[in-house]
Amino acid sequence: MSSVPERSEIDEAYKWDLRSVYADDEEWEAAYEAVSDRIEELAAYEGRVADDAATLLELLELREEIFRDLQQVMTYARLRSAEDTRNQEYQAMSARASSLGSEASSAISYLEPELQSLTEAEVASFIDAEPGLAEYEHYLDDVLRMKDHTRSAEVEEVLADLSEVTDAPSEIYSMLTNADMTYGVVEDPDGEEVEITQANFTKLQTNPDRAFRERVHETFYDEWASVRNAVGTSLEKAVREHATSAEIRGYDSAREAALDGSNVPVEVYDTLVDTVDDNLGVLHRHADLKAEALGVDRLESHDFYMSLTGDQGPDVEYEQAREWVIEAVAPLGEAYQERMAEGLGSRWVDVYENRGKRSGAFSSGTYDTQPFIMMNYQDDIASMFTLAHELGHSMHSELAGDAQPWHDASYEIFVAEIASTVNETLLTHHLLDTVEDDELRTHVLDEYLERFRSTLFRQTMFAAFEQRIHERVEAGDALTPDAFDEIYADLKGDYYAPAELTGGIEREWERIPHFYYNFYVYQYATGISAAAAIVERVLDEGEDAAADYREMLKAGGADYPLDVVELAGIDMASPDPIESAVGIYDEYLDEIAALLDLE
């Protein structure tokens, strides 16, 4: 039977090297204790924040010292726990680190309420009196902007203390789906048993044998059906927490509260959903092309991930993927390209799936560490694109960390998802322009179309689902597993109108962890729209446009997201980037239809 290896069976060269953070767990323990001992230092400034400029600067500098160390403690623990979610020692380490983070947040929770007792004029006078405060200007502006939604120091302390509890639905969901659940075993077309995992499910759904895909799909979603009450309850509680927190802070909705945190107007969200909804005909065309390519009258749910070529495509081993991704980013400049290559040679990436490893992929790290990329690489084109995606995040962190002080280096997800998809888009252009293998080129084109489908359209569908389930709670209605199924199936039916929904696809909401992240997913769709526009500009205009894009990356969190993106020449308050992205998607459909003699 094909099975997932234990972590000990993976070659060290394909694992990230966390010794650059702490030499071993004992050193982590010492760092944990050192941070824990220093948290009480923050209490000495309570009630004194607005006394004078010098005191405020002292506190902000102390906060940075403690929180920079805290970030390393928390990140190391989380990365260790992601390696094997069954490892109770590392799960306990992660829980302790999370508790320490909550303790530190509680200890400094008075800071923003006390800052908000100042007027803009008083803050300006503080900056005049103490030049060191000038680099905190954006932070101070952002704090004052949130004055109407910040509660008293006492209430803020309580909310900070409750963060461990309010995060419980997401953490329970993660443990259930990564550590406890299994997803069934099926027989492949060669008669071999294959274990289904969250990491390989999508790849199995690209197998050319339709009956096998159907078995995989039904087996997988039957397993989700067995936990639908637990998952439904956890998501319902997460939604209620979002709505309650928004109400406590004086917002009209959870969505308004979530977007206001990064100062993104809700109109940006509405523009995305409305513009995509107006262009569903292009997605429906993609579905019709798939049906024609597969030789079926109508797609079913187990056909959604199928390639227009009708097969899984050639394998792409990790070393080849590394080479192509490095080559692809050449338009962004030699320094960018060399730094990425150096990182890939320095074990930034934890490459392969192992038993118990957290599903999916992410880029992590701190201001004082290198980036760390977790993958579950499957030797396919999709995994190569995921590598490019995560490297976009990592390079963003590297450039922002070089250019900005600690408090301005962290960027909003709205900007982050642009950096990741710029790399994907450049990879597509590079491979289409340089690879002579027609089979590979066709599959690369198909992969990019799939990423457009799953990022621009699917993530917008998720955003619409997230909005509807929150609106239901905010209207005082119940959210049950049946209600989730109904809402999800209604949206899925609209988006995939040419297809027949089968095999339990109405339960797909159960397997999407991002629904716990509080209006997070829409940023994938805005990100790919902006990225497509940026790459078109870079390829058309050359170094000047590339320099503008690098300035966007270097800006980090030194300004609000829409203003940061404008540095790259893109206006995300307009529907233009979204409509342009849909147009590019349609053009690629034309190209692949011609190559495959479809329509």
Give phi and psi for 275, each to the nearest 5. -65, -45
Task: State how far the Cα of 49 lies from the Cα of 427, in Å rounded to an integer.
Answer: 49
Is residue 80 within 8 Å of 93, Cβ to Cβ?
yes
Give the closest residue to 420 by CA, choosing from 496, 363, 495. 363
User: Terminal CA-to-CA distance of the chain, rounded, Å?
Assistant: 41
Q: Within 10 A of 187 (CB to CB), how many other CB atoms are there?
A: 12
569: left (phi over 0), alpha (psi -120 to 50) or beta: left
Runs of H (alpha helix) within 249-380: 254-260, 266-278, 280-294, 318-328, 334-344
Catalytic hit among 157, 236, 353, 390: 390
The CA distances from residue 340 to 109, 320, 322, 328, 412, in Å, are 38, 15, 10, 11, 22
Is residue 356 within 8 Å of 86, Cβ to Cβ?
yes
Residue 173: enclosing H or E segment and its boundaries? helix 168-175
Q: DSSP code of 510?
A: G
Q: CB-hemisphere CA count at 13 Å for 326?
A: 15
Give the closest residue to 143 by CA, choosing from 120, 125, 161. 120
Task: State how far the Cα of 81 lies from the Cα of 372, in Å rounded to an integer.
Answer: 14
Task: State how far the Cα of 23 lies from the Cα of 30, in Å rounded to an integer.
Answer: 11
Report CA 309 to chain centroid distance, whole Å: 29
Q: CB-hemisphere CA count at 13 Å for 375?
A: 25
Q: DSSP code of 6?
A: P
Residues listed for the chain: 599
* Tokens (6 digits) for 510: 């159960």
DSSP notation for 206-240: T-S-HHHHHHHHHHHHHHHHTTHHHHHHHHHHHHH
Active site residue 390: yes
The CA distances from residue 535 to 57, 400, 528, 544, in Å, are 41, 20, 10, 12
List of residues 6+ apart from 511 with CB closer than 8 A: 177, 198, 224
Give the closest residue to 556 by CA, choosing from 543, 565, 547. 565
Give phi and psi for 315, each to the nearest 5. -70, 145
Task: State how far the Cα of 33 lies from the Cα of 110, in Å rounded to an integer.
Answer: 23
Q: DSSP code of 4?
A: P
Active site (catalytic) residues = 390
